[in-house]
Structure 1
Amino acid sequence: MIEDLVYLYLLSPLHTGGTTQEGNLLGIARESHTALPYIPSSSIRGRLRAATPADNRSALWGNTIEDVTKGSDSNLTQGNLWIGDGSILWIPVPSLSHGVVWVSSPLLLRRWARLHGVEAEIPVDYSTNLGNQKPVYLKDAILKPTELKDWDTWKIFVPQTEQANGIQSVLVLPDKHCATLIQMTLWRQVKVKLDEHKTVDGGFRYEEAIPPDTLMYFPWGVTAQANGKGGDAKQDFKNLLASHELLQIGGQESLGRGFVQTWLASN
């Protein structure tokens, strides 16, 4: 059962390792059917599990192979909670005409609405709250005023909370154009290794990351394992989030990467 959603507002670039590496590019995790970046549920669950008090950890998240091999438990068990993958809802794109514009697509909005139980009409391509009086410049793209469509109900698709109150300029792009723009917007950091003489030792590589100020979310719920303890598990999870509104997910924690602000979606 899907209980609801948890929002993640990225405070710094977030990198979760992908399954492949092409040349000198260390990519991030991507959905197989859309190639869009996402946060694997195992990364989110592992971080939440580590933040859970030890006396309640196994009940909420189950035990681990290490617990079994060390003899503290005889069998692997499933916990009372499940966690879904983290998906993009809105991603910031620099704009020469409007500063920063948050971009999404019908596919991303439809996915969010289905999981969140929102029955509002999904906006059509090029819906925006920017008006249609002047062009919109996004990276190498220029959208003419005649292409833009006024969108009065955009606040339904943006959490009206303090954490997301900076998202005021929004634009819905066609799915394929949004995917291309997301790819262009990803952060790419060049990393090199220096020897004792401060010269480059070997080659260099690029590491991708989802940019800060991206709004993401993940679904969560109670497993069948709960056996009547679902109410306690839900409250424990809410208490856990309330005490860990700032989390670090993914790698490169020592570089300040992967810090996110979390909050429960309102029903």
Structure 2
Amino acid sequence: MNQTYLYLFAPLHTGGTTQEGNLVGIARESHTNLPYIPSSTIRGKLRASVKNQDTKFQLFGNELGDTNAQLEQGDVWIGDASILFLPVPSLSHGIVWVTSPLLLYRWARYQENSPQIPEPYSCSFVGGNQNISVYLKDAIFKYTNNQETTDLTVWQNWQEFIPQNAVTKPINKLLVLPDQHCATLIEMSLWRQVKIKLDEHKSVDGGFRYEDAIPPDTLMYYTNGLTSKANGNGQQSLQELNSLISNNNIIQFGGQESLGRGFCQQWN
């Protein structure tokens, strides 16, 4: 089981199954309500990027619209993309990337050498004799060298949770929040885009429509591996998949490609 990382360059919206009033829903996990990228979206984009038909069939099998009437499974499977770190605005530190023990446990279970998961309120940019306050939306956290009054604790091994890539260098101000508080803050930090339709007189035709989107500079990941069809002989297919990901390191998911939405960098 392998992991592929996604660093978002632009807001990313993948349609959900619900629409409440004039708000177009975003794809969400049913048990956490957190935004995610469905595996079908990722698989479809990767499959469309394969030019060689034999390679496409080898990796992903055939589709209903293909000439072969019988559906066959491919050698590789693609999982959903989950959030690892999401940026939120901070009056004191500009941008702070938040996560939670649940999100870190999800990621760590795929690692060969799983790092120790930090406790809530662990922070990567506090320590020593400094006294600082972190302003995050409606919350204020304090760190002082007097351990009796501090809200935050030092996150010693935070660099073990950041995949090495040039685009991840800015991710250095990290804060671990309890699962429920992190989910609330992620919901508050989603981009909400207003969509309108204009008539020939440049007047609004109908009402406004809103779409949620995962913000830029979010770090996500998805898993992939060999299906049972490969039957232990899929090393060539894995190499083909890794080559496909490498050759499409800048990729676009979701709609609104003409507006520059959904672009991200991916790497193994």
Distance 2:112 2:187 in 1: 29
Please state if 1:143 is matched with 2:103: no
Quote the offset at 1:186 in angstroms: 0.3
| Contact 2:11–2:261 (Cα < 8 Å) also in 1 | yes
Q: CA–CA distance in 1 between the matches of 2:224 and 2:230?
A: 14
**What corresponds to 1:171 in structure 2?**
175
Query: What do you get for the CA RMSD once the two structures are aligned?
Result: 1.1
Cα distance in 2 for partners of 1:179, 1:125 equals 13
In structure 2, distance between residues paired with 1:224 and 1:111: 23
For residues 147-201 of structure 1, the C-alpha deviation after alignment (integer angstroms, 9 at most, x for no partner) is: 1000110001111222311111101001000000000000001111111111111
Number of matched residues? 258
Secondary structure of 1:135's match?
strand
* Distance in 1 (alpha carbons) for counterparts of 2:108 and 2:169: 19
Equivalent position of 2:121 in the other structure: 126
Please, which runs of 5 or more residues in structure 2 have no aligned partner?
144-149
In the TM superposition, what are the counterparts of 1:1-267 in structure 2 within 5 Å?
2=1, 4-53=2-51, 54-67=53-66, 72-131=67-126, 133-145=131-143, 146-264=150-268
- State the distance in 1 between where 2:250 and 2:233 align: 27
Among all aligned residue pairs of Structure 1 and Structure 2, give the percentage whose two residues are the same amino acid. Answer: 60
TM-score under structure 2 normalisation? 0.94
- In 2, the alpha carbon distance for the partners of 1:187 and 1:210 equals 6
Higher alpha-carbon deviation: 162-171 or 29-38: 162-171
CA distance in 2, matches of 1:219, 1:205: 33
Paired AA for residue 24 in structure 2? L
Q: Distance in 2 between matches of 1:5 and 1:235?
A: 14
> Over residues 82-111 of structure 1, what are the superposed CA-to-partner deviations in whole Å (9 max), with x where a residue is unaligned?
000000000011111011111100000000
Q: TM-score, normalised by structure 1?
A: 0.94
Local SS of the residue matching 2:264: strand
1:16-71: CA deviation from partner (whole Å, max 9, x where unpaired): 0000011111121000000000000000000000011223101100100001xxxx
* Structure 1, unpaired ranges of 5+: none
1:125-151 CA distance string (max 9 Å, x none):
000112162111112221122110001
Which shows bigger deviation, 223-232 or 253-262?
223-232
CA contact (8 A) 2:125 2:172 kept: no
1:176/1:118 Cα in 2 relative to 1: closer, same or farther (>3 Å)?
A: farther
